A and B are shown apart, each in its own frame.
Chain A
Amino acid sequence: MANRAPIATRNSALIAMIADEDTVVGFLLAGVGNVDIRRKTNYLIVDSKTTIKQIEDAFKEFTAREDVAIVLISQYVANMIRFLVDSYNKPIPAILEIPSKDHPYDPAHDSVLSRVKYLFSSESVASERR
């Protein structure tokens, strides 16, 4: 109970993204992107030149920012920093692993979904196989 973050009810928050270029461009087109006065973006485009260090830093920054409510992260990016994603357990901001175009989505890798399965193995597996 102690680690429950106070939930801001009034103000609106941003959606941060760590994903490949196509996904980010798509969501930017939808109007998710935000650039503040210091030219800081709320998204990170991951390409072949992006280092894991950069991804880690971006992940840490987004999860620490107060105006971010949801962090969307491509699953193959999440796999690169799996230890960070798995050790993150705060409810807000919510980490959401999304499928990317080039990499098929594997539900087994999703940290939350795997926890779902771990907790209610029989039920969730049964409902998944419908």
Chain B
Amino acid sequence: MSGQTQRLNVVPTVTVLGMVKARLVGATRGHALLKKKSDALTVQFRQILKKIVTTKESMGDIMKTSSFALTEAKYVAGDNIKHVVLENVREASLKVRSRQENVAGVKLPKFEYTSDGDASKNDLTGLARGGQQVQQCRIANIKAIEVLVELASLQTSFLTLDDAIKTTNRRVNALENVVKPRLENTISYIKGELDELEREDFFRLKKIQGFKKREIEKQMQNAKLFAEDQVAEKLSLQKGISMNAAHNLLSATTERDEDIIF
């Protein structure tokens, strides 16, 4: 990870530039959406946090009431009531049903307690004495369970949300700090390469143009010379002397002749 300088390993062409630009647009949109999701989750999270703290406080009171009710029941019905209760356990009449709640795409479990309604099992407990206290203790405990179930559902939501927020924030940060800079670097790289290519092309064109210009000038000059020659030749023809012949005469002396030995 070399920080800012990193970019995708791509061929710098116009097509790829278009592709990368489309990806950058997608990444930007995704980043905005995830940011919104994270905000929504955080709002929910804070609400749950407050609720947890207040419910925890009320839990203390409720538990105190319920244990006091049990003490009352014990006092009236005798201490052996607990054995009766322990023996009478068959099947839970108070159960928890869970359902899902959807907050910004995160499924939060919500518990709610359901009672079968048959309070008959412990109906005869403490029939001899203290029956009413036993029933009051039962009611107090059911209330405690109610609060505890609510607290449990809050706590579960808290953990789930915490997890979800962490994941979302990680994604937001990854998009913001890794994916987007990388795409931007790639875009600037491709643009730079394309610019360079363009400059090279321009330079080449300029070179070729200059070369052509020089060629044309040369040809023009040649043509001019040739025309002058022609004129001179015509003149000499008119005078009866071949300019070339004269030239040849002169040059013949300089040329080596095979026949001449010395």
Contact = CB atoms under 8 A, between A and B. Distances in A.
Instruction: Summarize A's interface: helix, strand, loop or mixed.
Output: mixed
B175 interface: no
A93 to B, nearest CB: 8
Contacts of A21: 82
B11 interface: no
Interface residues of A, number: 52
B111 A98 contact: no
Nearest to A43: B89
Contacts, number: 162
A123 B51 CA distance: 13
A6 to B, nearest CB: 10
Given A7-B98, A107-B56, A119-B162, A28 B67 contact: no
A89 to B, nearest CB: 7
B70 interface: yes
A69 B98 contact: yes
A35 B141 contact: no
A6 B238 CA distance: 115
B93 to A, nearest CB: 4
Nearest to B134: A29
A63 B148 CA distance: 17
Given A26-B66, A31-B94, A99-B64, 16 more contacts: A1-B164, A13-B95, A15-B92, A23-B67, A26-B70, A26-B140, A30-B141, A69-B98, A90-B159, A92-B98, A94-B111, A96-B148, A98-B59, A98-B148, A99-B60, A112-B158
23 contacts: A4-B160, A9-B99, A13-B98, A14-B92, A15-B92, A22-B71, A26-B141, A27-B144, A29-B85, A29-B138, A29-B141, A30-B144, A31-B115, A31-B122, A32-B94, A69-B152, A70-B152, A91-B156, A92-B109, A99-B60, A99-B64, A115-B162, A127-B53
